[in-house]
Amino acid sequence: MAKRGYHHGNLRQALVDAALDLIAERGPTGFTLTEAAKAAGVTPAAVYRHFEGREDLIAEAARQGYEIFADLMEYAYDSGRPSALTAFLATGRAYLAFARKYPGHYVAMFESGISVNRNPDLARVSARARSVLEEAARKLSQHIPPGKRPPATMVSAHIWAMSHGVVELFARSGPGTQAPFPPEDLLEAGIGIYLRGLGLIPPDDPT
């Protein structure tokens, strides 16, 4: 891995960028702070001016990932409107796109063991990302009588889990686990089946 170095005193971001490369390459526990410092072109002692330890560094990588992720999910949702269903499906595709384009952030967010409640900023931005799916679920379920309507938080959690499963099994996996269909098609079909089973897609919807 090429040494990044840093300029104009932006040491904190240089360390995060170095950590993201190492996380994508080796996983969240596959590197030391000394290695992150070396990749950033600074001494190990310099790291502790900005981060308490490796987990603190990974948490900042996760926070930045959630910022990108939330922006991407919001854009996908807005681009899919005015149809509630197309907006919902767009957020699923955005999940897959994010995992592919930002592997270091994705691992820091979802595979590092770092709690989203580790600090207030991380909790805030992760909640913003979740709120996009929850809003999409609320819009989809408006036609269902309140007494029969599933909670939007439950529906969004199920879709999040389905998206995560497709990513882990088929969008980021290595040789030997190739999906029989494109991950986007698997996810879209799965979401459609799930939503119809809950009655979240009106019977007369042709989608």
Sorting pLDDT into bands at 50, 70 and 90, what band is 7? Answer: very low
CA distance 111 to 93: 20
The reported pLDDT for the residue numbered 136 is 86
* Average pLDDT of span 119-130: 93
Q: Where are the alpha helices (DSSP H) in the chain?
A: 11-26, 33-40, 44-47, 54-80, 84-101, 103-110, 120-140, 152-166, 183-198
Q: How many CB atoms lie within 10 A of CB 174?
A: 6
* pLDDT level of residue 178 (50, 70, 90 thresholds): low
Domain boundaries, the chain: 1-51, 58-198
Q: What is the mean pLDDT of residues 95-118?
A: 93
How much of the chain, in percent, has pLDDT values that exceed 90? 43
- Residues 202 and 141: their CA atoms lie apart, in Å, by 9
Question: How far apart, in whole angstroms, are the C-alpha atoms of residue 30 and residue 171?
Answer: 22
Task: Measure Cα distances from 12 to 17, 19, 40, 46 in Å.
Answer: 9, 11, 10, 9
Q: pLDDT-derived band of residue 168, with 50, 70 and 90 as boundaries?
A: confident
Residue 175 has pLDDT above 60, yes or no: no
Is the pLDDT confidence value at 3 over 60? no
Cα dihedral 130, 24, 172, 185, rounded to 10, equals 40
The answer to whether the CB of 187 falls within 8 A of the CB of 163 is yes
CATH number of this structure's domain 58-198, picked from the four choices 1.10.10.10, 1.10.357.10, 3.40.50.300, 3.90.45.10: 1.10.357.10
Q: What is the mean pLDDT of residues 22-27?
A: 93
Instruction: Look up the pTM and report it.
Output: 0.85
CATH of domain 1-51: 1.10.10.60
Q: How much is the mean pLDDT over the chain?
A: 85
- Using CA atoms, how far residue 84 sits from 9, 12, 25, 80, in Å, is 46, 40, 38, 8
